[in-house]
Amino acid sequence: ILKAIEQPELPPLLLHGVTGSGKTEVYLQAVARVLENGQTAIVLVPEISLTPQTVERFKSRFADKQGEIAVLHSHLSQGERFDEWHKIHRGDAKIVIGARSAIFAPLENLGLIIVDEEHESSYKQDTIPRYHGRDLAVMRSRLEPCAILLGSATPSLESYQNTKRNKYQLIHLTQRADDCTLPLIRVIDMRMENRKHKGPAILSETLRKEIEGRLDRHEQIILFLNRRGYSNSMQCLECGHACECQHCSTTLTYHLSEQRLVCHICGYKQIAPRRCPNCKSNSVMYAGFGTERAEEVISKVFPRIRMARIDADVMQRKHRLKDTLRDFKAHKIDLLIGTQMIAKGLHFPNVTLVGILNADLGLHMPDFRAGERTFQLLTQVAGRAGRGELEGEVVIQTFSPHSPSVQFARHHDFEGYSEQELDIRQQFKLPPFTHACLIHVRSRHERLAEFALENLCQRLRKKLPDGIIMGEPNPSPLERAQGQFRFQVMLRSASSGNIMRYIKSVMRTMTFPEETLVLLDMDAYQLC
């Protein structure tokens, strides 16, 4: 890394370090060298939840330079963002820490860009302009020029394949710092658990006993469930009616604290009915569970437990997240339950047990990256355990115990998983062996959106160049969102430039109905 700082024309560096191997310490020492050289640095983190801890680590390491650290993310007020931006622009800031938009920070004399958890899909912006923070960081490092370091315990297959092509240089941290061992991971088949309980179980018997043991020994626990709310849906047992959003083709999630049914796509809310809106029956059932219900169950099973929940519902007040993590670090909280906000980057040495309540939530999505995301998430969450002197343990509850994503994560085997997944991707000409461009057509009128996309596809097929593979136009997996019907088609090619030039040349000759919106998403990360 020090060599790359002195010779910025060298290829980008990919640091593959197992969870708890000391990647943050590497970042701190690299930034220290950059500051000694009189240069500046940008540190990108994927989640706003990671920003407070990252800022705290940098401020404690560079205590004499605290005023030279600037923070940029979307939770800042307009005034705070204004002050931070001008601090950077005046040259008063030497280190900028933030989410994906921090890559645009107007730093001069840039010496190093660090992209932590480079595999995270949150680096990809899902609104116009649809840039990818990691890819933009690589591009900026070439333009400046400066050194760039991408770090992850589970690198994206795109970056990992770039090391095989010698576009990036791969460096390894294969062991945890201070000789800590990687946690033991146990997989619990929830199909068997449900047969024992004669119904859906939130906590398996194994996980319940493990939590009990940790509480007796005054150790801490993290439980992960990537779904907020109380229940996934509200359904009538008489007629089968499920309450759906008026604007999206998805069921409403029940939130007990608000007594409301909420759409997690558009934010629509309605009062939870006591009777079925369709047949007026009282036989209403709440199906599935989220963090709110899991919290309720755990508090009943362990009445004296000190517990906190971290998700988008409870972390709306400013500094609430920072305060909760500080209390957890001070051992004022025994158990932390939350969504992906707690899944990565957090370092708490007294956490010896991590429980993953439902590992299947993202596994069976209609997306070729679903397995990769699940493997990454399981590995990252598991990495929160055993980061101190005490050994850690992880309990994964799943209905798909034989899934490669689960089994490779169980053995901490990134190389094995990536080899198998890359082989499949190559056979089907999927990224990272091709670039994928997703064309979305949206309209409030279903037939109009469908007609516009079919018309565009007919034109594209007429003179489709060699080397471009075009799929069939279909409704999006989420067919309607925010009142708009959505249709899409995917084009793939080894060259992103070839795809974009061809699509634009065809679209220039076309006119679309006024009430339709056509969007191009190159290297799309969300296919739903």
At 63-90, the pLDDT tens digits run 988 889 999 988 888 999 999 999 999 9
pTM value > 0.85: yes
pLDDT at 471: 95
End-to-end CA distance of the chain: 38
At 291-324, the pLDDT tens digits run 999 999 999 999 999 999 999 888 877 778 889 9
Whether the CB-CB separation of 59 and 70 falls below 8 Å is answered with no
pLDDT at 50: 77
State both tokens at 261. 């049914």
At 434-463, the pLDDT tens digits run 999 999 999 999 999 999 999 999 999 999
Instruction: Give the largest CA-CA distance in the chain.
Output: 73
Residues 359-383, mean pLDDT to the nearest whole number? 94
Mean pLDDT of the chain: 93
Three-class SS of 456-481? HHHHHHHCCCCCEEECCCEEEEEEEE
pLDDT at 252: 95
Q: How far apart are CA 134 and CA 149, in angstroms?
A: 10
What residues does 492 pair with on adjacent strands? 436, 469
Sequence-distant (≥ 6) Cβ neighbours of residue 504 within 8 angstroms? none
Provide the 8-state DSSP code for 108. S
At 494-503, the pLDDT tens digits run 999 999 999 9
Sequence-distant (≥ 6) Cβ neighbours of residue 515 within 8 angstroms? 443, 444, 445, 448
What residues does 116 pair with on adjacent strands? 151
Share of the chain above pLDDT 90, in %: 80
Strand, helix or coil at 463?
coil
Whether the CB-CB separation of 519 and 434 falls below 8 Å is answered with no
Residue 521's Cβ-side half-sphere holds a number of Cα atoms within 13 Å equal to 21
Strand, helix or coil at 28?
helix
Share of the chain above pLDDT 70, in %: 100
pLDDT at 199: 64
State both tokens at 77. 């007020």
Name residue, tokens 């409301």: 260
Query: Alpha-carbon dihedral of residues 156, 158, 162, 163, nearest 10 degrees?
Result: 20
Instruction: Estimate to the nearest angstrom the gap between the alpha carbon of 460 and the chain centroid.
Output: 33
State both tokens at 424. 């499949």
At 186-224, the pLDDT tens digits run 999 999 988 887 667 899 999 999 999 999 999 999 999
State both tokens at 204. 């398996």
pLDDT at 125: 92
What residues does 474 pair with on adjacent strands? 488
